[in-house]
Homo-oligomer: A and B are copies of this chain.
Amino acid sequence: MSLVCGIGERMVEELYLNINPLQTGGRTPADTRKAIFSWVDGYAVCDACKGSLRTTDKPPIRQFIEDVSAFLGMDNALLTNGAREAKETVIHSLASRDDWMVADGNAHYSTLVAAERNGVPVIRTETSGHPTFEITPAMFDEAIERGTKEHGRPPVLAVVTHVDGNYGNVVDAKSIASVCHDHGVPVLLNAAYSAGRMPVSGRELGVDFIACSAHKSWAIGGGNAGLLAVNEEYRDRIIRFSKEYPVKPIEILGCSTRGSEVVALISSFPHVKERVKHWEREVAHARSVVSRLLDAGGFSLLGMSPKEHDIIAIETPAYDEIASHHKKRGYFLAKELKSRGIVGIKPGRTKHFKFSTFGFTDEQVDYIVESFLEIKDKYM
């Protein structure tokens, strides 16, 4: 398998519409691709280092950290290697022996593994279950009380998944944060699928920390990067500096995303600021897709309705029935989609799957939904 575009299959795949939710928010603008290419050698961002990543002015990392903190409605930020590393940083900074934390029932696995790395038990909230999988403020209240009884103390942290990656549900983060604060519990918003796609203000939501995924939702392309935004109250507990090397933040071992990724982040930031202004268009796309699929029959929605996000999960009994007598079985669907220039759903799945319409044009969104319907009609 060649790894190089122009010889291998990636080039072909890039001409396709990739509807995988992991990919749609990470597509790189052309100038960001060029910026990555310009800074791709060695530790090029360290050429004009002033002692640490966060104080580097060339490229303008120091300014970016200020600007992105303001953009997120927070007071300060750390560059991290990704959203999971951002979450781990908060857990590691706050938790002591015998502490525990609360998370929602739709939490990403990396939230749980980050807690596990720190030996911190997690109590998860319930969800409303199939088919909406909703998380409510009352569920956080219940989980905090249940955990407090079990552990004899309130949780050290609540990690709230702003938008989960399975159903694209947007939680009422403001009310959940309020419930957590009523229990004296600081709130980390996992904004991996929200910040960078849709407007997110920590100040409006009343959260203490925001973890962002640059590859998932900040249009920076393939490099690992994330952001941890923090409010003033917790700044010094998170952004602690080494005793011996006082310019080096301990949590990120001095410098985290110390390559072309940070240049990509700076480069894509104007695009991100612009695109979140058009979030209503993204929601309208998602709603139109869902409504056309449900109207056609043979499809039903997983997750809450109406859609408030571009990640769409659907049950597809229509496709499942086709798979039961198709000679390619469940693989027929991915093959049919690919023949129409659409990739990004797990091959073999026909009971249910998820996809994202983020960033596609009206015409592309129409084309995607028409392809889904055409494939159904072809066999039924």
A binding-site residues for B, Cβ under 8 Å:
1, 3-6, 8, 10-11, 13-14, 18, 20, 22-28, 31, 33-47, 58-60, 81-82, 84-85, 88, 92, 109-110, 112-114, 116-117, 215-216, 221-224, 242-245, 248, 250-251, 253-254, 256-261, 263, 266-267, 343-344
Contacts and interface: CB of A to CB of B under 8 A. Distances in A.
Contacts of A34: 4-6
Contacts of A84: 253-254
Contacts of A28: 40-41
B110 A253 contact: yes
A116 B4 CA distance: 41
7 tightest Cβ-Cβ pairs between the two chains A and B: A26-B42, A222-B260, A5-B38, A23-B42, A40-B221, A222-B259, A3-B35
A35 B28 CA distance: 15
Contacts of A344: 47
A38 B59 CA distance: 24
A244 to B, nearest CB: 6
Contacts of A39: 3, 10, 222
A114 to B, nearest CB: 6
A258 B43 contact: no
A3, A28, A82, A248: residue with the most chain B Cβ atoms closer than 10 Å: A3
A221 B42 contact: yes
Given A6-B34, A22-B46, A23-B47, 12 more contacts: A3-B266, A20-B46, A20-B47, A22-B43, A23-B43, A28-B40, A40-B222, A42-B215, A43-B215, A85-B253, A109-B245, A113-B250
Contact of A3 (B112, B245, B263): B263
